Amino acid sequence: MIDVVEIQKILPHRPPFLLVDRVTKLSEGESIEAFKNVTIQEPVFLGHFPGHPIYPGVMIIEGMAQAGGILAFKSVDKATQEEAKEKVVYFMSIDKAKFRSPVRPGDRLEYHLKVIKHRGDIWVLDGKALVDGKVVAQAELKAMIVDK
Residues marked as catalytic: 48
SS3 103: coil
Buried b (16+ CB within 10 A) or exposed e, 62-71: bbbbbbbbbb
Q: How far is CA 104 from the centre of its chain?
A: 17
Cα–Cα distance between 70 and 41 in angstroms, integer?
A: 25
Total Cβ atoms within 10 A of residue 20: 27
**H/E element, 88:** strand 87-99
Q: How far is CA 107 from the centre of its chain?
A: 16
Amino acid at residue number 111: Y
